[in-house]
Amino acid sequence: MSLVPAAAEKNTRSAVGNEAVSSLQSPVKRYKGLILSVLSGIVLALPFCDGRWWILSWIGFVPLFFALRDKTRLQSFALSCLCGVVFWSITIYWLIHVTLLGQILLILYLAIYFGIFGFFISGLSTIDYRLSTFLFFPSLWVVLEYLRAHLLTGFGWALLGYSQYLNLPVIQLAALFGAYGVSFLVVMGNLAFYSAVSFQLSAFSKIKKCLAFALSLSIILAYGYYQLSRQPKAESRKLFKISVIQGNIPQELKWAYGSQAFILDRYIRLTKEAALDRPDLIIWPEASNPGFLGDASDARVNENIFNLAKEIKIPLLVGSVVRAERRYFNSALLINEFGLVGRYDKLHLVPFGEYIPWKGTFKFLESIVPIGDFTAGNNYTLFSLSAIRYPLSAKFGALICFEDTLPELSRDFTREGADFLVNITNDAWFKETASPYQHLAASVFRAVENRLPLARSANTGVSCFIDSRGRVISRLIQNGKDIFVSGIKTQDIVLSPKTKSLYQDIGDSFIAGCFALICFCGIIRNRKP
């Protein structure tokens, strides 16, 4: 009996089996880059959904790095854009409560920055793994974040560094180089991890990259723990008591006809409750005044607020829309028993929310998003309480709405002489989502960068107090919730002698250093034979 037919049959079955396995593997291999890009976007976004997952940011780019191996620049751009679309779709999903089309357009625009990042780091399997290139990746990312925060009026939301706002030792780096310094470190950590697990690197090269990152992280952690352990001397400490009001006024009710009495009654009741704690200052949220200051039709509403300050004899910081000379301002008003003491008009308005940039070009957007018609202020107004509460001398700057996402604005207030910062805001637009916590993260960084305490009064939360090291020392909580509840919170904040941070001195010079490093690394790579 011949064995050839049997052997042939066996080979045929084997070939068929291999072909079946190959047919199953080929789609996976074909879509591997897409799968890894999507995975990277998800992992990077999760810490912005819950800050307790901050550790994921340190490995979030790794799947994308693997996806870009041996890819052309165009392929890398496309895959990185996909990663960006996934990241921003998860991170700012709450914008759908305001505008769906506007959300889609914003996501597509923001994803381009991911694409540019991928374009310049394409071909990871053939990359030069010298230490100069190890610094190129985080420098490129930081410069792109800075551009995103400033181009086309800027969108400084969800910087990579903000994902670490609960990682207190690491965020002390912000006092030196701002939030961008933390972003730099996180990208460097991703690259170190990628280098450690990449089979295309020699053991020596892996050790070199990991040691460089480990040394940098160790120095930063040592600095962070040292700063967290520092306490101002007892004789130099000055306590300042503040009460914040959280009205929890639904957005659909805020400007509804006939709602003025209800809104004003709630704020008056909460303010009188806070006055029992005898604070030095009581803070209302952004646009909490249900009327317009300067509008004759709202004279009764404004009179009630001024009478309230006269009755309790405690200064009020009230968020209000101000009408002056047919223009409208989003303002913060300091009122005491004698009347209006000071007024700050919001300097940086929200584009396509409070105004339309280049109105002639983007007028059609009025039908897409609810756009106000506000005028920006032009002065860095500091409020002084020395003349009001004579035993104390304190100055503070008020950041309205998303102004706390602008590092340079807080820095300018600090350089003008602020002893503490205040953020008044209204995040009711975005419902019970991750938005208020993402907003809180920005406030934490402003406190660390300037080494100043910060008080937040938010219409629907999070209303809280942050110390100069970024610790949320207390927050308003009712029935286990800190958003979409009403109430008051009173806290002593520590006004210490002004200690300048390096960031106050150099500002965003770190960005210029990153740009110079990009140019240097580009020259080095181009000179490689």
In this model, does residue 9 exceed pLDDT 70?
no
Token couple for 118: 């991928």
Answer yes or no: is pLDDT of 165 > 50. Answer: yes
Residue 355: is its pLDDT beyond 80? no
Concerning whether 401 is annotated as a catalytic residue, the answer is: yes
Angstrom distance (rounded) from CA 385 to CA 395: 6
- Predicted pLDDT at 255: 82
307 φ/ψ angles, rounded to the nearest 5 degrees: -65, -35
- 83, 145, 286, 521: the active-site residue: 286
Band of pLDDT at residue 145, cut at 50, 70 and 90: very high
The pLDDT value given to residue 430: 94
What integer pLDDT is reported at residue 303 of this predicted model?
Answer: 94
Question: Which of the four pLDDT bands, split at 50, 70 and 90, describes residue 415?
Answer: very high
Can 346 be counted among the known catalytic residues?
yes
pLDDT in tens, 322-332: 998 889 999 99
What is the biggest distance separating any 2 CA atoms in the chain, rounded to whole angstroms?
A: 116
pLDDT(199) > 70: no
How sure is the predictor about 11, in pLDDT bands with cuts at 50, 70 and 90?
Answer: low
Statement: residue 6 has pLDDT above 60 = no
- Taking residues 180-184, report their average pLDDT: 97
List 81, 83, 145, 346, catalytic entry: 346
Q: What percent of the chain has pLDDT over 90?
A: 67
> Is the pLDDT confidence value at 510 over 80?
yes
Residue type (1 letter), 344: Y
- Where residue 507 falls among pLDDT bands split at 50, 70, 90? very high
Q: Which residues contact 392 (CB under 8 A, 6 or more apart)?
A: 238, 240, 280, 385, 386
Q: How wide is the angle at C-alpha 343 spanned by C-alphas 346 and 485, nearest 5°?
A: 70
Which of these is catalytic: 81, 83, 401, 464?
A: 401
- Is 403 designated active site? no
What does the pLDDT read at residue 206?
73
Average pLDDT across the chain, whole number:
88
d(CA 90, CA 88): 5
Q: How confident is the model at residue 360 (pLDDT cuts 50, 70, 90)?
A: low
Task: State both tokens at 490.
Answer: 């009173």
